[in-house]
Amino acid sequence: MGYKVAIVGATGNVGREMLNVLAERKFPISELYALASRRSIGTEVSFGDSVIKCRDLETFDFSDIDFCLMSAGSTVSKEWSPRIGAQGAIVIDNSSCWRYDQDVPLVVPEVNGDAVRGFAKKNIIANPNC
């Protein structure tokens, strides 16, 4: 069994590192989608021994996604995270967008991992990034 995972901002440095970490840790993925802006459609990114072509964020259907890792900046996250979360995916956001939102837990797993329980209000989890 695995999870369906989408990475928004997959062509950026952080997005590529997310792909590397998921592969290195052998995260149980059944389907993986690399998403980016229209100018990056078809750009190839590595995932372990595989290569994945980026798809367009604007037209992607998130209704069957379990987790969406967001690494496309605050502007993109502000627009897209609520829309993705409303379709049922759990969004883990790497921008500064949701850090002060009372309905979005700011989680540092080693410090307050139990705070993740509060994600269900918006289906968004924030992390502190830098």
| pLDDT value at residue 118 | 78
| pLDDT value at residue 116 | 86
What ranges do the domains of the chain cover?
A: 3-126
C-alpha 25/C-alpha 36 separation (Å) is 23
| pLDDT value at residue 130 | 62
Given a cut of 50, the residues of the chain with pLDDT beneath it are none
Fold of 3-126: Rossmann fold (3.40.50)
What's the token pair of residue 19? 């792909």
Cα 7-10-15 angle, rounded to 5 deg: 90
| pLDDT value at residue 57 | 96
Q: Is the pTM of this model over 0.85?
A: yes
Element at 24 (helix H, strand E) = helix 13-24
Round the average pLDDT of the chain to a whole number and report it.
93
| pLDDT value at residue 1 | 83
Reported in sequence order, the residue ranges of 13-121 that DSSP labels E, i.e. its strands, are: 29-36, 44-47, 50-53, 55-56, 67-70, 90-93
